[in-house]
Amino acid sequence: VSLQKSIVEVAVSAAQRFLWEGKALEALPAALQALRFSARVFGWSSVQLVPVYLLLAEASTGTGNLRQASKYLSEAEWVVLQSPDCPAAVQSRLHRGLGLFCIAQGNLDQALYHLATDVYLATSAFGVDSIEVSGGYFHMANIFFRQNKVDVANSLYTEVGRTKIHHSSGCGIPLSSRQEHQGRLRRLRARAEAAPWADDEEVAEDGMTEAQGEEARRVLQALLGVRKKQQLPEERARVLHALAMLHYLDLDLEKAREVGMKAFDLARELPQQESLETIGHLLELINA
């Protein structure tokens, strides 16, 4: 069983990496292998298959095969419906997948429903300021932006900035050690439920997993483009600061220094320069 779990972990990782690289067709064989071995380990009715079905749906959508993507999503929905005790973390991922599929179909109202449900479930599973919540807010903001509801979109983009993506850059309000410990335990339990094949060290690590880090980078890069178009230098500086911190945590010091200097130079031009000190401290850490 441990060998089969390892195969699932490798297959899921490979499929996810192909999807990050925009290679949806290459992701399909790895995701199918992950489904095959997940079924052997957990059984076809297990909620542990849901994340794999979602990978297959995302890969199918990426190849333009929406009919096949819909079938995989239906399988995931059926498993969840048959599992009264399905964790909120898994349900959150399902609604994220359904929301993104509806966007691909052009059904934006239904997409908003699923993404709002994703945010609600992710909040209950991981906490209000978790990285898992930020993606739902971001996709909702993009929809409102496409609908020319700029005020609503900006409000949601700001919510992205209140999650742990920015808290990791020192922009958040410190919690008491007890609150922090309780929040950490809740997040770790939820992540373990959402990815049962993951390495114990990866689940137990208090920092971001590779998948979380990649999602955070993708969201921040896209948000940076939005803020640049909107000509909001203060918000742009905040996003650059968070990106620099992510590169620093990933030990990419050259990229962290480059992005950090952009944030610092931009912050120096702002009327209020409260962020200069924290960005400067980050640059000191990078250059140490």
- Give domain status of residue 212, yes or no: no
Taken in order 152, 154, 159, 163, is the CA torsion positive or negative? Answer: positive
pTM above 0.85, yes or no: no
The length of the chain, given as a count of residues: 288
Where b means 16+ CB within 10 Å and e means fewer, 186-207 reads ebeebbbbbbbbbeeeebeeee
In a domain, 219, yes or no: no
CATH number for position 169: 1.25.40
Q: What is the mean pLDDT of the chain?
A: 83
Among 202, 272, 286, 203, residue whose Cα is nearest residue 233: 272
Residue 159 has pLDDT above 70, yes or no: yes
Residue with tokens 């995701």: 31
pLDDT digits (tens, 9 = 90+) for 20-33: 899 999 999 999 99
* pLDDT confidence of residue 176: 45
Q: Residue 44's domain spans which residues?
A: 1-86
On the question of pLDDT at 280 being above 80, the answer is yes
Quote the CA–CA distance of 47 and 42 in Å, as a whole number. 9
Provide the CATH number for the domain around residue 71: 1.25.40.10
**34 neighbors 67 (Cβ within 8 angstroms):** no
User: For the CA atoms of 48, 51, 53, 55, what is the dihedral angle to 10 degrees?
Assistant: -150
Burial class (CB in 10 A: 0-12, 13-18, 19+), 109: exposed
Looking at the chain, the whole-number percentage of residues with pLDDT higher than 90 is: 45
Mark whether 105 and 76 lie in a shared domain.
no
Tens digits of per-residue pLDDT, 81-110? 999 999 999 999 999 999 999 999 999 999
The two three-digit tokens of residue 106, written as one number: 């052009």
Q: Which of 15-19, 114-118, 180-184 has the lowest mean pLDDT?
A: 180-184
Domain count, the chain: 3
Could you report the per-residue pLDDT of 182-222, keeping only the tens digit for each? Answer: 555 555 455 555 555 455 444 444 456 677 777 788 888 88
Interatomic CA distance for residues 192 and 199, integer angstroms: 10
Q: How does pLDDT run across 258-276, given as a tens digit for each residue?
A: 999 998 998 888 877 667 7
In a domain, 54, yes or no: yes
Select from 288, 223, 284, 233 the least CA-distant residue to 262: 233
- Contact by Cβ (8 Å): 131, 242: no
